Amino acid sequence: MTRKEKLTASLERRYGKRVAAGGRGGGPGGNAARAKGKPANVGKTIRRLMVYVMREKARLAGAIICVLISTLSSLAASYMLRPIINTYIVPVDGSRGDPAGLFRALLVMFAVYMAGIVATYLQARLLTRVGQNSLQRMREDLFAHMQELPVKFYDTNTRGDLMSRFTNDIDNVGNMLSSTLISVFTAALTLAGTLALMLYTNVTLTIVTVLVVPLMLMAVRRIAGASAKYYAMQQSSLGQLNGYIEESITGQKVIKVFNHEGTTMEEFNILNEKLKAHQIKAQFFGGLMGPVMNCSTQLTYTLTSVVGGILCVARGFDIGGLTVFLNYSRQFGRPINEIAMTTTAIFSALAGAERVFAILDAEPETPDDADAYVPQPMRGDVVMEHVSFGYNEDHMVLKDINLYAHPGQKIAFVGSTGAGKTTVMNLLPRFYDVKKGSITIDGVEIRHYNRDELRKNIAMVLQESHLFSGTIMENIRYGRLDATDEEVIEAAKTASADAFIRHLPKGYQTEIDGDGSNLSQGQRQLLNIARASVSRAPVLILDEATSSVDTRTEQLINEGMHHLMDNRTTFVIAHRLSTVRDANAIMVLEHGEIIERGTHEDLLAMKGRYYELYTGKAELD
Amino acid sequence: MKKYTKYIKPYLFFFIVGPLMTLTEVFGEIWIPRLMSMIINTGVANHNIAYILRIGLVMLGACMLQVSTGVLGGYFSVRAAVGFTGDIRSELFAKVQQFSFADLDDFSTGSLVTRLTNDLQQIQQMVMMGLRMALRSPGMLVGGLIMALTLNRDLALILLVVIPLLGVSIFLIMKTAYPRFTRMQTALDALNNGIKETLTNVRVVKSFVREDHEQDKFEGLNGDLKQRTLDALNTVIFMMPVMTFFMNLTAIAVVWFGGNRIIAGRMLVGDLTAFITYVTQILMSLMMLAMIILQSARSMASFKRVSEVMDFVPDLDDRNAARKDKEVESGRIEFKDVSFSYPDENRIEDDETTSVAMPKAGTGMEARHGAGNDGEDFSVLQHISFTIEPGETVGILGATGCGKTSLVQLIPRLYDATEGAVLVDGVDVRDYSLENLREGVGMVLQYNTLFTGTIAENLRWGNEDATDEEVRKYAEYAQADGFVSSFKDGYDTMIEQGGTNVSGGQKQRLCIARALLKKPKILILDDSTSAVDTATERMINAAFANELKDTTKLIIAQRIGSVKDADRIIVMDDGKIVDIGKHNELIGRCHEYQEIYYSQVERKEEVPA
């Protein structure tokens, strides 16, 4: 094998399965291939969509009336040319033309045109409004519902997927509501009207025109088939190339450190050439539709001219009739084409709507009891008794966990990834509910708490530091919206964040961009700690909160938080054992069970798992 | 635009023939109504069926000409556009390969990916459409005008009045609409970012019970988006009615003036029909032209973003290197009064309006200090000098943000020192060719990446021609062989993108093995064993000591245990070297070292190790 063949084979193995999401890159023929799945229950989805649209009944009715007026007026105006030519310009009876009559007739024509124009404008205006209002409501419903969904929902759906429902799917629905549906309606109306007028004008010519239609449809289907096939190939190689680009740009620094630029370039070029080859085919077939449609229009026009001319000579068909007919033959293909093009778009929009509704149908968090307990204030006595939990029924992640923590205590969890440390902490604010056993705070089962009150009293700092766009001040204040500037700064000091914040050119007013990518991981963690400490919640959970902070800074944080922890119940999860050394109790978790518990000294004396970890004889993954 | 001509050259034939085909197509399209008018004027008027059939055949020929040139024109345009953008994509990617670390920090990962994917796609669309339509619309316009003029000069005067009026109206509508669309896009981006943020931070939102707060934020953004969308759409919906108005007005004028002429016997009735067809064609093409202009205005933004990368001059290259053939031989490192600060961040205007959701890659640097509030010197490194002899093992310790990573990154020239010089084997690193220098310096980055491919393929990054035995041997040194062999597919196990299917500690060991395969003279580990347990780490260190005797080793670590046995330890604080020495010396005299030590090991209690 040559080097190139080897690289190609390797690329195929690594990236072969990727497919670019349906983009906007295809030709018109690509529409068919782009439709993301078929809607499962068209009737039901349409009914639910109608609920949104029906709130705009008046506007919708107005729009439909406008569509009728504009379509009818354009049909009428186009037909008026026949009597005008036949009566005033070249009278059929052979008499001289009548300029005054022509003027009057044209005035009427102008009026008809104007009615159509005004109706077109009003219709567009009304429909835009209907579409946007429905979209706004749909987005709002979706967002509001998502706020109520349990954490479990977010753990089982990817963010990318949820985002695409907010963007692509809703966009598709919006387009459908505000333009696609109406254009199909208009097209159908125009088609019917034109056909009727054509038949009225001349039956023979109509037959000639209609004969071309099946020919055209056949060509369209052929092209669309080929186009869909090549479009799929293009999307697949585009997906591969994009995946490659994304990966190598993300890992660009490693590429440089390994002098790997050359090979990367070779591989890139192989994928790029492949994409080029597929693109040429896909785009070519996609672009065929235009010329072919054009050709069939011209063919109809030619046939109409010839047959119409012969009819004029042989059967005395009027010139005015021929003139309007020629116009009809030009516009006859358009609505057919439009309907063919938009049905796929409508189906993909319906499928999108279905995905949106699927979220709206997802079960929200169980509602609070009517007499839900509101702590005033919470002390923070946490008791877990025989707690078992699994994300699904047949596999228990936690087995028979028992613990008691009271205010002022620091309880630590140590264990490998997957041992269940984070899961324990997910139960406390009721992100998940226990399957067996009970958790009580201040003697009340947490199930019976008012959920919001429960969560307000538990502050969490998570391993993945999360920040919001806005200033640093706003980010810390997120912990308690009514905190004063002084309190925010105080909290930052507690978290040892004050020093680095002051070093920033804009201090506390520094804008966080994206997810805080202008700060280091360690700094982000410090802000998260500050946010939790400003909240004054009596229960504090630190889940790997200082994993990216050096040990000395960590110690400073610990000292800073010491007085803060005085009357709080603190739970700490850490990988680094130095973080948990001073805890009142350390729980060593393995496979969902607490296998050892006690203070640092107790555990060392026990010479068990903790001792092994501490002395480096075992590894935490 | 000039710089793009060289990408046109290989496809010049397609670039020329494509539009020519389109022109021919236009010719056919314009010719047909003229032929039709001949049927009415001569054939019907003279009752000559043979003539009608003859002209009919010519029309059929024109149809064929039109469709064949149309198809060919499409093909050539596609070839031209795909070739053109494909080459630019390749060039762009090659450019990124030349970027320095600082350049990569400036453009974010997401923005670079967007430029290489979406933006280029946009450009390709535009070129393709440009080649098809740019000549088509003006062709139709000019051809239609010529036909109209030859049919009837006086009637064509109507167009002279209507075209400017229509042109001005379209211009006004677009001028109003364009900024409104930009504002709509901004509102859309804001909404999407808002949603993304809430989704990402859902646990935070829930744990602080801020659902209402988020809902309020969202409703504000959502309402904003709706208003701006309405603003934008309500402008463009004028387009259709205005267009129709002028078209209809022209038709009425043509019928009125033409009708009078026919009545007066100065014009043939077939010409009237043909004339109306031409007028429609002309106005339609004007409309299309306006659309193209609008479309290309959008693509210009993509062009700009791509050009930005193309024109970017990497801030670090080896063009002026004095000793390009020099290779790293012994691995001696010397820092001579080195100071360093990261280049000013905002060199690039980076609007990521279309960027895909993507985490910014770890920049590999700790806290970035710029000039602070009070004008102090916040250089990341300040006047650093030291020498490391070949084969030495040196540990580097210090708090987050003290400049450890920045320091070692100067050795393989990932960044250039702002002041002073870094020497390897007595030669300034700037005098090596980048390839030779980086060949000699192996580095395991703090934020490391494994690539899609098998474990063996990933390890062979260090040395493409390494035998299976060699791969296994170095994996053993990095203590990776054990877990790799325990996998079902062993070294052929596929690593998923980003290396998500191996644990943190395993990933770090694979990255070390990959660097070892390079057999570098200098090996730098930047906090590369943080997720590896201490016992395994000790075995890695032992392997280094036994098997890599001649390699100079620099080890940055958080844990004192990782560097305790090093020949020397450099203690850093706030961009300066505080002390250099052995563990035993430092524990006695260096305050910072003691602090770090006692933050990890309890005072007075030495853990048996």
DSSP string computed for A436-454: EEEEEETTEEGGGB-HHHH
Q: Which residues of A touch B505 (CB under 8 A)?
A: 619, 621
pLDDT at B469 > cutoff 90:
yes
pLDDT, tens digit, for every residue of B275-315?
888 888 888 888 788 777 777 776 787 888 888 888 888 87
| Mean pLDDT value of segment B390-396 | 94
Q: How far is A580 from chain B (nearest CA, A)?
A: 11
- Return the residue in B30, B32, B82 with the most chain A beta carbons within 10 A, the one to mutate for interface testing: B82
Decide: residue A225, CB within 10 A, 0-12 exposed, 13-18 middle, 19+ buried.
middle
Which among A163, A253, A259 has CB closest to B101? A253
pLDDT at B516 > cutoff 90:
yes
Q: Which residues of B touch A531 (CB under 8 A)?
A: 208
Q: Which residues of A touch B116 (CB under 8 A)?
A: 245, 249
- Return the residue in A125, A250, A273 with the most chain B beta carbons within 10 A, the one to mutate for interface testing: A250
| Mean pLDDT value of segment B95-113 | 81
pTM: 0.75
Tell me which of A288 and B348 has the higher pLDDT.
A288
pLDDT, tens digit, for every residue of B220-271?
999 999 999 899 888 888 888 888 898 888 889 988 988 888 888 888 888 8
The answer to whether the CB atoms of B93 and A245 lie below 8 A apart is yes
Residues 6 or more apart whose Cβ sits within 8 Å of residue B213? A481
Q: How far is A278 from chain B (nearest CA, A)?
A: 10
3-state secondary structure of B421: strand
The answer to whether the CB atoms of B197 and A129 lie below 8 A apart is no
Beta bridge partners of B572: B398, B577
Tell me which of A295 and B383 has the higher pLDDT.
B383
Cα separation, A412 vs A600, whole angstroms: 10
How far, in Å, are A506, B89, B164 from residue B348 at the CA level? 20, 20, 41
pLDDT at B605 > cutoff 50:
no
Tokens of B331: 């691995």
Do residues B306 and B85 touch, judged by C-beta distance below 8 A? no
pLDDT at A147 > cutoff 90:
no
Q: Does B248 touch chain A (CB under 8 A)?
A: yes
How far, in Å, are B103, B318, B321, B593 from residue B397 at the CA level? 28, 31, 32, 8
The answer to whether the CB atoms of A257 and B414 lie below 8 A apart is yes
Tokens of B304: 């700009």
| Mean pLDDT value of segment B541-562 | 89
The answer to whether the CB atoms of A102 and B256 lie below 8 A apart is yes
The answer to whether the CB atoms of B364 and A322 lie below 8 A apart is no
Q: How far is B58 from chain A (nearest CA, A)?
A: 9
Tell me, what's the pLDDT at A161? Answer: 76
One-letter amino acid at B423 equals: L
Element housing B415 (H / E): none
Q: Which residues of A touch B198 (CB under 8 A)?
A: 143, 146-147
Q: Which residues of A touch B81 (CB under 8 A)?
A: 283
Q: Which residues of B touch A143 (CB under 8 A)?
A: 195, 198, 215, 218, 222
pLDDT, tens digit, for every residue of A378-390?
888 999 999 999 8
pLDDT-above-70 percentage for chain A: 94
Residues 6 or more apart whose Cβ sits within 8 Å of residue A207? none
Homologous superfamily (CATH) for A467-536:
P-loop containing nucleotide triphosphate hydrolases (3.40.50.300)
Do residues A304 and A326 touch, judged by C-beta distance below 8 A? yes
Tell me which of B603 and B173 has the higher pLDDT.
B173
B391-402+437-600 in CATH: which number? Answer: 3.40.50.300
Q: How confident is the model at residue B372 (pLDDT cuts 50, 70, 90)?
A: very low
Residue with tokens 């603003």: B231
Tell me, what's the pLDDT at B608? Answer: 39
Q: Which CATH architecture has domain B1-140+301-314?
A: Up-down Bundle (1.20)
Q: Which residues of B touch A459 (CB under 8 A)?
A: 207-208
Residue B374 CA, chain-centre distance (Å), reads 37
The answer to whether the CB atoms of B204 and A462 lie below 8 A apart is yes
Tokens of A607: 């010479």
3-state secondary structure of A407: coil
Cα separation, B591 vs B568, whole angstroms: 17
Q: Which residues of B touch A514 (CB under 8 A)?
A: 360
Residues 6 or more apart whose Cβ sits within 8 Å of residue A523? A497, A500, A516, B367, B401
CB pairs under 8 A between A and B: 445
The answer to whether the CB atoms of A295 and B66 lie below 8 A apart is yes
Tell me which of A125 and B113 has the higher pLDDT.
A125
Tell me the residues of chain A between 194 and 253 that have a Cβ less than 8 Å away from chain B. 242-243, 245-253
Q: How far is A617 from chain B (nearest CA, A)?
A: 5
DSSP B488: T
| Mean pLDDT value of segment A279-306 | 86
pLDDT, tens digit, for every residue of B448-460?
788 888 999 999 9
Q: Which residues of A touch B103 (CB under 8 A)?
A: none
3-state secondary structure of B178: helix
pLDDT at A439 > cutoff 90:
yes
Tell me the residues of chain B between 288 and 347 that have a Cβ less than 8 Å away from chain A. none
Query: In chain B, what are the domain boundaries?
Result: 1-140+301-314, 153-266, 391-402+437-600
Do residues A187 and A338 touch, judged by C-beta distance below 8 A? yes
pLDDT-above-90 percentage for chain A: 22
The answer to whether the CB atoms of B117 and A242 lie below 8 A apart is yes
Tell me which of A394 and B609 has the higher pLDDT.
A394
Q: Which residues of B touch A79 (CB under 8 A)?
A: none
Question: Which of B386, B443, B385, B380 is closest to B411 using CA atoms?
Answer: B443
Q: How far is B516 from chain A (nearest CA, A)?
A: 11
Do residues B432 and B323 touch, judged by C-beta distance below 8 A? yes
Q: How far is A443 from chain B (nearest CA, A)?
A: 21
pLDDT at A198 > cutoff 80:
yes
Q: Any alpha helices (H) in A251-318, and if so which ranges?
A: 252-257, 261-315
Tell me, what's the pLDDT at A26? Answer: 35
pLDDT, tens digit, for every residue of B395-418?
999 877 788 888 999 999 988 999
Q: How confident is the model at residue A517 (pLDDT cuts 50, 70, 90)?
A: low
Question: Which of A23, A28, A25, A37 is closest to A224 using CA atoms?
Answer: A28
Beta bridge partners of B553: B393, B523
Question: Which of A163, A141, A119, A182 is closest to A55 using CA atoms?
Answer: A141
Tell me the residues of chain B between 368 and 407 that have a Cβ less than 8 Å away from chain A. 368-373, 378, 398-401
Tell me, what's the pLDDT at B425? Answer: 94
Q: Which residues of A touch B197 (CB under 8 A)?
A: 468-469, 515
| Mean pLDDT value of segment B61-81 | 90
The answer to whether the CB atoms of A429 and B206 lie below 8 A apart is yes
The answer to whether the CB atoms of A581 and B272 lie below 8 A apart is no
Tokens of A186: 């208009």
A318 — alpha (psi -120 to 50), left (phi > 0) or beta? beta
pLDDT at B518 > cutoff 80:
yes
Query: In chain A, what are the domain boundaries?
Result: 38-201, 203-316, 467-536
The answer to whether the CB atoms of B561 and A124 lie below 8 A apart is no
Q: How far is B60 from chain A (nearest CA, A)?
A: 7
How far, in Å, are A402, B60, B136, B280 from residue B30 at the CA level? 87, 13, 11, 12
Q: Does B214 touch chain A (CB under 8 A)?
A: yes
The answer to whether the CB atoms of B202 and A151 lie below 8 A apart is yes
Tell me the residues of chain B between 114 and 153 that have a Cβ less than 8 Å away from chain A. 116-117, 121, 124-125, 128, 132
pLDDT at B356 > cutoff 50:
no
pLDDT at A416 > cutoff 70:
yes
pLDDT at B386 > cutoff 90:
yes
Which among B33, B211, B371 has CB closest to A147? B211
A38-201 in CATH: which number? Answer: 1.20.1560.10
pLDDT at A547 > cutoff 50:
yes
- Return the residue in A118, A551, A575, A577 with the most chain B beta carbons within 10 A, the one to mutate for interface testing: A551
Cα separation, B32 vs A297, whole angstroms: 11
- Return the residue in A81, A143, A171, A528 with the most chain B beta carbons within 10 A, the one to mutate for interface testing: A143
Question: Which of B119, B123, B122, B131 is closest to B78 using CA atoms?
Answer: B131
Tell me the residues of chain A between 389 and 448 that have a Cβ less than 8 Å away from chain B. 417, 429, 431
Mean pLDDT of chain A: 84
- Pairing state between β B419-424 and B453-454: unpaired
Element housing A410 (H / E): strand A410-415
Tell me, what's the pLDDT at B563? Answer: 87
Do residues A248 and B450 touch, judged by C-beta distance below 8 A? no
Which among A106, A290, A313 has CB closest to B49? A313
Tell me, what's the pLDDT at A442? Answer: 92
Which among B36, B79, B401 has CB closest to A326? B36
Q: Which residues of B touch A159 (CB under 8 A)?
A: 196, 199-200, 357
Q: How far is B314 from chain A (nearest CA, A)?
A: 13
Tell me, what's the pLDDT at A271? Answer: 92
Mean pLDDT of chain B: 83
Length of chain A: 621
DSSP string computed for A144-180: HHHHHS-HHHHHHS-HHHHHHIIIIIHHHHHHIIIII
Tell me, what's the pLDDT at A29? Answer: 35
Tell me, what's the pLDDT at A417? Answer: 65
Q: How far is B256 from chain A (nearest CA, A)?
A: 7
